[in-house]
Structure 1
Amino acid sequence: MQTNRGSEWRKWDLHFHTPSSYDYQDKSVTNEQIITTLKTNGISVVAITDHHIIDITRIRALQALGAREGIAVLPGIEFLSESRGKEPVHFIGIFSENAPLDYIWTQLQGTTEVREILGLGKAPNEVYCPLSATIREIKKLGGIVTIHAGTKSNTIENITNSLPHGIAEKEAIASLVDIYELGKEEDAVGYRKVVMPILQKKIGKTIPLIICSDNHNANKYKIKQNLWLKAQPSFEGLKQILYEPEQRVKIQFEKPDFKEDRLVIDQVQFVGCGNRFTPFTIKLNENLNVIIGGKSSGKSILLYNIAKTLLADKDFFVREKIENKYNFGGEHPDYNFQITTKGGFSQYLNRDISDNSIIPEIKYIPQNYLVKLAEPDENRKGADLNTIVRDLIKEDQESGNKYRDFVNKAKTNDRKREIIIDAYFDIKSKIGDLEGQLKTKPNKEILEKNIESNLQKLEEINKSIGLTNDQIDEYNKLQESARAAKADTVKINSDFKKILEFNSEVAEILENLEAKKNLVDTSLEHEGIRKIFNSGYSFIEHSIKELAEFKSLFEFVKDKDGGSVFTKKSDLSALVANGKEALSAAEEKLIPFQKGDELKKQNEILNQSIANDKAALSEIEQLYKEISENKKALLAEKNKIFSLFLDNYKEYLSIIEQLKLRTVDLEKDGLKITGHVKFNFPLLRKSILDMSDGRTASYTRFRLFDFEREGTADFEITQLVEDIRSVFDSLIEKRDYVLNRKAVEVNAVKALFTDHFFDFWEIEYKNDKLGTMSTGKASFVILMLIIGLSKSKAPILIDQPEDNLDNRSISSDLVEYLRNKKLERQIILVTHNPNIVVNADAENIIVANQKGQGEVESNSPYQFDYTNGALEDSLPMDVTEQDLLKSMGIREHIAEIVEGGKEAFKKREEKYGFNESLPYKALMQKILLSKDDIEHFELENYS
């Protein structure tokens, strides 16, 4: 049973000497001190590379000591090439930890034409070897060759300085070398920028760059820089950097691919299910975990349980109709599933509903989910996809806050629009009432002539009773004063009623504002902000108190005589009292002028008629004034409605511009997302047509209701506003748009101005728009969107993303995408595709098996069983082992289970030229050297 978590980043030192080297600085250093030094410095793997010797006894002793401390020891040897200028080139052979060292050492001494060279200022015990022949011998014996590189004089670069065709030979030697060992970190920049592209072009090979200690005294261990390899601590693990020379090797101080502990699943475990599932923990890698297995082997069950335990959106399972897809609780009441993060937090599948997920941001992409989203049925799936893209764009906190602000503004505009439309129809209704009242009033000219006639009659009466002209003038003034006092009383009564109605409306508005203000107050978290907020909006409470005080001025009670008196003395009560007094005083002053009952009666009739006519005239003028002012207000409200409609459109433009930066990073992957403001014409059309009279079919006259216009159709905002205005005018002003009997105008207008805008995100991948892509390609693009737009670094769970993708898309697009994204966040993926397993360089492979489902039987006690490890975990099949998962290594399981697995491994090795080198003559010809040039170097050993 595998207990590791696959290929992990560890510190390696692949150039380390012991006292067995002739030039070791302190021969008293013990093997124990060496292991202690390595452990203290966090080294997981060391290669012993003594000069010109493989000290078998020491290496085996170090391996035994290292095993106790978790340090792997690889045997090796350092060589010096024959003289090539200033200094010989240094190179190293590294062998498997289980290699037959006796045989290897015998072969190296007997078959590599080793010769001692004395003099030239060199130590007499230095041994120089022919470079090409020795490299060939190392590889023949199953070893890996590292060579000094960089700016030092003992590196492969020195070949250039010593031969007429040094560059060509250097490239030929590079084709045989596996690893470049740099002398200093700074050299890496030039090698990556210049040397590697040239070698890739000339010999089709990228060589890993490493840096090592070259330590000659364990008591003075000093590393130039940390060398991190992502591999199992073994020779097979080391070989992986040859296939992944850029992603599996890092020269840097800190551990690569940093991920927060809380966002990494460390291990998972089935609990309380008898022998249904293996009870052992399944370790996970921080990067790419691939789950493989035969049909019905439990691959998806494992992934589903991880998702079901952690996914915060439980409705997702209901929406996808997989809520009870793998439910074993009926058979095993104690069935559970446990997840533990790298941060040490654990969570169970069956837990209290109030317990939040320990990784709520996790993404789960079940089988066929991508295909369903990629279906071409836009009306059913297009909106879903647009929603997903939008949600991903606004997933990070900053963008989410911006979008929430936008939504709040849009909702505020919606409320404003409703209020404005209601106000519009209130004003429109009031205009109708005023115009109705105006129709009940007498003709203005008739009233004016009647007043003039009655005034003449009064004058004649006054003359008939013997009043002088001065008395008549005084009498007329008194009459006018009495009439004015009566008119004032009428105005006061009318205004009194209007103010009472307005007071009630304002009181309701203020009470609603106070309630909303209190809700905001309770939502504020910062005490300082709360104080500022409450101070700024204290006017609401003050206004409520002031309004209550003001309303009390209009309250009155009955007095003992049955009359009405105000409860409070104020300017209002004084104004009413003064009006009554003025009327009484004017009527009292008229008494002396009214002689005779008959004349008095005529006077009263005429004066009353004049007063009534003048009051009627005043009411008519007031009605005309109010109608005029209300029509101005109506136009203003209409303009507000259209202005607010445009404001909403501008809000959509603004949020698209604000979120644009979230999509820029995806362009490096060939993915382009462009935001557009769209208008849902079908939805508007339906809402209006549902209220329209079908027989008259007024809607057929308007472009706005064109049945060919879809929700994603392009439009010009100015034209859209004009189209809406024409419908509005037809509904309200011309009144030639016929609604059905149940519909009312106000609802039709509200429907007309409903915010049907939406932010639409157009997706383009490598110049191909999503709507025109094949289902398979669209599925991959949607996967890119889900992963690429998600700013969260939480794990991603994917079940068979290769479904419906062609092999080319898998081997190029999907594999490369996974290789890049696993560096940013943990990925757990179910697959049956060898390219994803091998070429995406999965760090951890989980092999699933269900007993009785495969061709080979297993005696494992568990129905569903799992094991895991790295690509480099290789163990030939043991035919005596009856437990299938234990019978072979991870590499062999991949080759056995995944169709094309063997070929994938073979192509991976061929791609990087491992185990196969071009013959030297063929290589020299490839880099354009003549036959004479080849013979000049006397390199017959290469051919």
Structure 2
Amino acid sequence: MIGRGSEWRRWEPHIHAPGTVLNNQFGGGTPWETYLTSLETVAPRIEAIAVTDYYLTDTYEEVRKHKAAGRLPDVQLIFPNVELRLDVAAKTGFVNVHLLVSPEEPNHVAELHRILQRLQFQAHGDTFNCTRADLISLGKKADASILDDRAALAHGATQFKVNFDQLRRVMRESDWAKANILIAVAGAAGDGTSGLRQAADATMRQEIEKFAHIIFSSSPAQREFWSGRKGVTLDQLKERYDGCKPCLHGSDAHDQRTVGQPVEERYSWIKGGLEFDALRQACIDPEGRAYVGTEPPRTAMPSQVISHVAIADANWAATPEIPLNPGLVAIIGARGSGKTALADVIAAGCDAITPTAWSASENISPSFLVRARQLLGNATATLTWGGGASVTRFLDGRDANGHLAFPRARYLSQQFVEELCSSAGVSDGLIAEIERVIFEAHPQDDRDGAIDFVELREFRTARFQQAREREAEAIADISDRIATEIEKEASAAGLALQVTQKTGQIKSYNEDLAKLVVKGTEAQANRHTQLGQAVQTLRGTIQAYGNQRRTFVALQDEVASTRATKAPELLRQAKERHLHSGLNQQQWDEFLLIYKGDVDKSLAGYVVWADQQIAALTGPAVPAGDPNTPLFPDTADLSKLTLNTLLAEMTRLEALVSADNIVRGQYSTLSQRIAQENTALQSLQARLTDAQGAAARRKELQSERDAAYGRVFQAIINEQAALADLYAPLMARLTASTGTLRKLGFSVRRVVDVAAWGTLAEEDLLDRRKAGPFQGRGALIALADTTLRPAWETGSAADVQAAMANFIAQYMRDLISQAPYGQNQQAEFRAWLKQFAHWLFATDHISVRYEIVYDGIDIRKLSPGTRGIVLLLLYLALDDVDDRPLIIDQPEENLDPKSVFEELVALFIAAKAKRQVIMVTHNANLVINTDADQIIVADAGPHPMGGLPPITYKAGGLENAEIRKAVCDILEGGEEAFQERARRLRVRLDR
């Protein structure tokens, strides 16, 4: 026995035949030939027929004779449908019920007649049984003018009414009837329960429908009602009607024209083998096994379904040809029976075994093919796909994973699951798979041209990360400037003292200079002093021009360097950041940074101008003249004279101040010293002015830094939002889902490593030995945990700014006081200040992390078994884009039976509706409660020395008694699982 198991097949559950007792319109001549030909040629083809007649089985027996003679080759199942009329009036007649009888027992017709003759109708002072003879007798008594037995039979059938309570009692009292008969009731308004509309009939209608196993109706509204999707809940169906009911519809043909042609092509489809038990299974699982429509429910695409496996050149494969169901295939068997062998064979044919698995050691690998590689020889597997394609692969892996190979199935082998879900590491493989599913959940148009999740994530977050880097660099630069201003601010007092000291020193020098003046030359000495002051002023002006000139020359160097190095490098970096701009080289050249004006010409002109100003102010050298003749009159404007002219006049006056050469030399030297000190005083005064303005500048820079710090966090928040948006399609689906799927979730959050931030300061920047709030190890970390962490983790950019501002306002003085250097150690303190500022406003300890959680726990912290559940959630419920076959080896590993039922059953039921699923399992729940479409039972013979044991397979659906027995014998808890399935689906067949 090697069948495909439960497949959607067209059944005709309600069709009459020539010679039917009532309303026979099949015509004369050779009605049977026309009738049979119609059934043989009808499309879609019919594979199971319930031959219907009123109270009798004559036409059923006639159809069986034609089948035995070779007719109806496609019809593999024929069974009787005995139509009865209850003594309950409907809208246009009486309510009809149908006895659908299993043909499995050879004497089923005789047994059925035994049941029917127990049904009685009392009339005309007599009691009539439901038999041919009594129906004829009833017809003649009802109309004495009828003499023909055939006419009397028809008339008697119109008169005979079955008492509902009697029918129910007869069924209840017969074990044979309970085991072999399914009750169907018409749901239509004419001769069905819908015709019972009066309030007084409501209880009767409910009792009849409760008694029935099947509702004969093609109405979508009725189908939704009886599946618990509309009007009533599943619990209400259970309470009022003993559970869900399958709705079926037949042609109810009474003439040749309607044979196998129901109204509006509402065909009946039953999923199962061509055996009566498939109908019983449809009663157990109406939603999954019965359907009315033009076509059966679609499952996996034919091109993505493995329809057949053929193993060649393998003497151990006692069953070399195995057809596969397109839905859920369960491979079961005892330990060592060859379950995993078949899964491996199928996976090898799909190129779905990973290179890692093929290269594993034969001694430790869980793979049958890897362990048996030396014994496989030239064995091959040929897979035939539903679309007609076929592929052949060697089973020892010699031709696996070629450069053109593509895995045509997803194989969750034990090794694959262990690799993704092991306790070692952080399950990067599992996270990568989840990210792949997240990526594929995005519509093609929303992927921005990315080829995978990592690239899409980079596309969505790059601008925010770049913004963060830019602002972080700006903060570092501003911090350096603030450190400089703080140093200047601290130097103000010292500079003021130096200015005072320098002023006093100059005053002393001037007093000394006055003592060197010879009596009678006081006027010349005063004039000398005036000229010295003018020289000092002029030299300051010339020095300023000199500084400008040096700046212009340095700018020329910078311009040249920018053109040659910096601008091209910035352009290269921009091109790397924006690889997908689509700009050509010519377009990119437009982004090369250039100077707005002709800076070369301007700078050259500025240098010439500075030289001219310096030359003009310095003036030409003045030759020595008459010592007694001034070089310019006393009334001359000293500010208009050149430096050389002023210096020459001062030299002339120095000779007149004292005739003594020694005194003259002292006067000249002292005058120069006074000039130098005045220049130094000017410099000190300029630095003091600069230092006195440092506080205002520092505050302005700090405001800029605060704003930049806020922009850093805004960039972080924007990145966080962009990452959250990546999960939006999948999150929307998870939010709308129920059951196990709701346990899976995703979160994007800021992760703050306060310890790393605080430790850096405690170890390298602060002297923890000094008294203060940060004394001792961990004090800073503890404080940051309470004052900064909340804002860092969940606050807005404004919240973070405020938190840092408050921290600085409250603790900056204490932090500075615990510097390892004193402020008098200027060089060391200056370097420390910069390091301190860089640390304080650093954001390296803050990252945006997206987490995948299951039941609120980060997947990285789950046990391997629970990670396995997540993996199955991923492939069974969320991976909608991947429609390839899914092959799973023992999905229940690490799960207790209760968890298997709660976590996996619903997922398998949903998954098999959209892709082919092949699983190796030893769990009864995964076979029975998922209503597996095909059960493949593996069995291995004795293990020969130096070879592989013979492996045989048999296959079928759960509707097959032999398969059900194997399930119960092999799988622990099989009987209980069948009972649980009945409870879950709210059915009871043994009425």
TM-score, normalised with respect to structure 1: 0.73
Distance 1:730 1:268 in 2: 79
Match of 1:700 among 774, 778, 793: 778
Partner of 2:969: 896
- Deviation, structure 1 residue 353: 4.9
Aligned: 1:671 with 2:742: yes
SS of the equivalent of 1:871 reads coil
- Deviation, structure 1 residue 894: 1.8
Do the aligned partners of residues 679 and 384 (structure 1) sit closer, same or farther apart at CA in structure 2, a change above 3 Å counting? Answer: farther
Partner of 1:423: 477
Distance 2:862 2:490 in 1: 64
Aligned: 1:147 with 2:184: yes
Distance 2:953 2:223 in 1: 41
Aligned: 1:59 with 2:146: no
Amino acid across the alignment from 1:665: A
Do the aligned partners of residues 866 and 444 (structure 1) sit closer, same or farther apart at CA in structure 2, a change above 3 Å counting? Answer: farther
Do the aligned partners of residues 892 and 105 (structure 1) sit closer, same or farther apart at CA in structure 2, a change above 3 Å counting? Answer: closer
Q: How many residues align structurally?
A: 856
- What pairs with 1:65-80 in structure 2 (closer than 5 Å)? 68=73, 70-80=74-84
Distance 1:382 1:64 in 2: 65
Do the aligned partners of residues 780 and 477 (structure 1) sit closer, same or farther apart at CA in structure 2, a change above 3 Å counting? Answer: closer
Do the aligned partners of residues 413 and 846 (structure 1) sit closer, same or farther apart at CA in structure 2, a change above 3 Å counting? Answer: farther
Greater displacement, 298-307 / 149-158: 298-307
8 Å contact from structure 1 (residues 451, 613) kept in 2: no
SS of the equivalent of 1:205 reads coil
8 Å contact from structure 1 (residues 441, 620) kept in 2: no
Partner of 1:240: 281
Amino acid across the alignment from 1:216: H
- Deviation, structure 1 residue 209: 1.4
SS of the equivalent of 1:140 reads helix
Match of 1:684 among 740, 756, 768: 756
Do the aligned partners of residues 414 and 576 (structure 1) sit closer, same or farther apart at CA in structure 2, a change above 3 Å counting? Answer: closer
Distance 1:655 1:205 in 2: 46
Aligned: 1:213 with 2:251: yes
Do the aligned partners of residues 583 and 45 (structure 1) sit closer, same or farther apart at CA in structure 2, a change above 3 Å counting? Answer: same
Do the aligned partners of residues 67 and 780 (structure 1) sit closer, same or farther apart at CA in structure 2, a change above 3 Å counting? Answer: farther
8 Å contact from structure 1 (residues 12, 45) kept in 2: yes
- Deviation, structure 1 residue 846: 2.0
Amino acid across the alignment from 2:441: D
Do the aligned partners of residues 33 and 796 (structure 1) sit closer, same or farther apart at CA in structure 2, a change above 3 Å counting? Answer: same
Do the aligned partners of residues 263 and 353 (structure 1) sit closer, same or farther apart at CA in structure 2, a change above 3 Å counting? Answer: same
- Deviation, structure 1 residue 179: 0.9
Match of 2:591 among 540, 558, 562: 540
Distance 2:849 2:564 in 1: 37
Distance 1:647 1:168 in 2: 69
Aligned: 1:181 with 2:216: yes
Deviations 1:14-59 (A, max 9, x none): 1123323253434346245223442x23444333324444322333
Deviations 1:719-750 (A, max 9, x none): 996599679969984554899x9998799669
- Deviation, structure 1 residue 842: 0.8
Aligned: 1:396 with 2:431: no
8 Å contact from structure 1 (residues 374, 782) kept in 2: no
Deviations 1:435-482 (A, max 9, x none): 999999994456678899999999x99x97999999999998898567
Partner of 2:25: 25
Amino acid across the alignment from 1:616: S
SS of the equivalent of 1:84 reads strand
Do the aligned partners of residues 808 and 538 (structure 1) sit closer, same or farther apart at CA in structure 2, a change above 3 Å counting? Answer: same
Amino acid across the alignment from 2:568: E
Deviations 1:166-225 (A, max 9, x none): 544544444543211015444334554447765520353322112222233444534432
Aligned: 1:288 with 2:328: yes
Partner of 1:870: 957
Partner of 1:585: 616
- What pairs with 1:8-407 in structure 2 (closer than 5 Å)? 8-21=7-20, 22-27=22-27, 28=31, 30-38=34-42, 40-51=43-54, 52-55=56-59, 56-62=61-67, 68=73, 70-85=74-89, 86-96=92-102, 100=106, 103=110, 107=114, 112=119, 113-114=129-130, 115=135, 118=139, 124=155, 126=157, 128=160, 130=162, 136=170, 140=176, 143-158=180-195, 166-182=201-217, 184-191=219-226, 192=228, 193-194=230-231, 198-202=236-240, 204-220=242-258, 221-224=261-264, 225-261=266-302, 263-268=304-309, 274-277=314-317, 280-303=320-343, 324-326=365-367, 327=370, 328-332=372-376, 334=378, 341-343=385-387, 350-355=399-404, 357-359=406-408, 362=410, 364=412, 366=414, 396-397=441-442, 403-405=457-459, 407=461
- Deviation, structure 1 residue 295: 0.6
8 Å contact from structure 2 (residues 244, 286) kept in 1: yes
- Deviation, structure 1 residue 801: 3.6
* Greater Rg over alpha carbons, structure: 2
- Deviation, structure 1 residue 354: 3.6
- Deviation, structure 1 residue 74: 1.8
SS of the equivalent of 1:840 reads coil
Identity of aligned residues (%): 17
- Can you give the 5+ residue segments of structure 2 that lack an aligned partner in the other structure? 120-128, 144-150, 448-452, 621-640, 656-667, 770-774, 822-827
Deviations 1:669-708 (A, max 9, x none): 5834473636354873797499659996854212449999
Match of 1:620 among 673, 677, 687: 687
Distance 1:307 1:705 in 2: 58
SS of the equivalent of 2:958 reads coil
Partner of 1:846: 936
Do the aligned partners of residues 240 and 647 (structure 1) sit closer, same or farther apart at CA in structure 2, a change above 3 Å counting? Answer: same
- Deviation, structure 1 residue 872: 1.8
- Deviation, structure 1 residue 293: 0.8
Amino acid across the alignment from 2:602: D
8 Å contact from structure 1 (residues 685, 705) kept in 2: no
TM-score, normalised with respect to structure 2: 0.70
Partner of 1:916: 990
Distance 1:5 1:750 in 2: 68
- Deviation, structure 1 residue 244: 0.8
SS of the equivalent of 2:88 reads coil
- Can you give the 5+ residue segments of structure 1 that lack an aligned partner in the other structure? 525-529, 554-569, 875-888, 918-943
Partner of 1:830: 920
Distance 2:841 2:363 in 1: 40
- Deviation, structure 1 residue 837: 1.5
Do the aligned partners of residues 550 and 172 (structure 1) sit closer, same or farther apart at CA in structure 2, a change above 3 Å counting? Answer: same
